[in-house]
Amino acid sequence: MGNGFLKRINNFYNELIVENRLKYDGVNFFVKNRKTGEWSIAKVLKGDVISAPTSRGTSCPLANVRFMFAHPGPYTIDMIIQLAFDGELHKFFGWIKGLWTEETRMLYFQLLKESGNPVNEHYVKDHHNPFYRSVCNAYSGKQKYRQFLLDVGEDPDEVSGMKNVAHFLAEGRHVESEIIKQLQKVSTPFIPNYRSPDNKAHPDLYNPLTNEAIDIKRHIGSNIKKEIDKYQQYFSGVTVLFLMGSHSVDVNKLGVRKVSIFKWIQEQDFFIKLDANLQKDLLNGLEHIAERVSVKLAEQDRNDFHKKLVEQIIELDKQGYNCPQIAEKVGFTYKYVHRILIGSSLSEYSGDYPEVYKANKLEDKQISEKIKQLTLMGVKVKEIAEQLEMSVDMVRHHLRNHELNEKFIISKRNERLVELFSFESSHRTLADKFNWIVEQLKNEYPHLTFGAVKNYYYSLKKEV
């Protein structure tokens, strides 16, 4: 049966690139006319496809075209999976239809093992999410990744480290215990692994001097429902520290402070009182814990990579760019950009902007429908722009999305006018007839005026 994606991309490559029917000058794509052999700029059509006829149809997805010029074929399954592993494939595609099979999952997992990076579920989910999602889609029930590991002959407990650190890794406690060990190197006011008198609250750290509870999380995206709902009943202050995530994030969420441990620790009196060497040693110790989770992610966090990415995407959206245009500028797929804007990815950095974005999209949709209706009623683009207080170009943009053309709509209206001009009636004057025509067309074209009918009538007379 073969791999669906591999077969599809090789067909495109052979028909368009090998047969010299498509070329790229770094700015535009050009398609060759089969009959004349002449080259012309290939049109980008609705749905992000390009007018490049193949045996599969009259167009080709733009993502495929960009991929083929960036990574020339012919392609093998090993080459495709290597590109997927390197993150290259997903710069061009979102979810790739037909790519993931039992064979490709096995090939990808072999690359994971050979890379020397962890292959536990947390790491794979964070850093190889398309592969991880394919595993989840292929298996049913609970512990899907564990089932996959068993199928490829791996010991899930050995892979996760359960045999060595048991409950720590099982509940994300390994990172917490390592951070507590770093803090115990110096004198702090905190009691580790505290339990409230009624045994219902168990923060990782407790400050008896201030009655403050502190919980440690592996990642900025970790759920803090427990701290919000329960801990605030017991403690005067509640703080959540996260290891992985932007070092500059510091927010208050329903009374709970959520802050990077790197920012938090440098505010503490016990840290400020340490000499420079001990301060450096403590920070390096925390960095080492982060790097053991992921060297790449730790470096990105130090540089605020994800936070800056979200801020850039939001700013570009505010400037009026759409998702595909933003994707071009930031180097990620438009689907990923869309997930960020609606708050399903990296929501820890977007604040309440996803709600603003959704509201704007709803308003855009309503405006777009209004433009469509006005155009179908015969209102000219310039008049619509004035009525809706927007630019003529923006009105035309919405019309293109609806595949409507102002000239076509007006020509259809004019055909109706000609029909009625030719209709033999008993009107004594042209003015009476023009008023009658306006009345006849008021349901189809409620904005049609006596003056428009008159002007068009005399324009026809001039042509004759």
What pLDDT, in 10s, does the model give residues 212-251?
999 999 889 888 999 999 999 999 999 999 999 999 999 9
Give the percent of the chain with pLDDT over 90. Answer: 28
Mean confidence (pLDDT) of the chain: 85
Q: What is the rounded (10 degree) CA torsion for 297, 302, 303, 307?
A: 70
Say which DSSP state 13 is in. I
Rounded Cα gap, residues 135 and 191, in angstroms: 41
* Helical residues (DSSP H) of 14-101, grouped into ranges: 62-70, 77-85
Give the global pTM.
0.51
Chunked in runs of 10, what are the mean pLDDT values of the chain (464 residues)?
85 89 85 85 78 77 87 90 88 81 91 82 86 91 87 76 44 76 90 87 92 92 90 94 93 94 95 94 92 85 92 91 85 80 87 88 78 76 80 76 69 84 85 88 79 85 64
What pLDDT, in 10s, does the model give residues 154-183?
877 777 654 444 433 444 567 888 899 899
Rounded Cα gap, residues 289 and 299, in angstroms: 12
Quick check: 117 and 126 in contact, CB under 8 A?
no
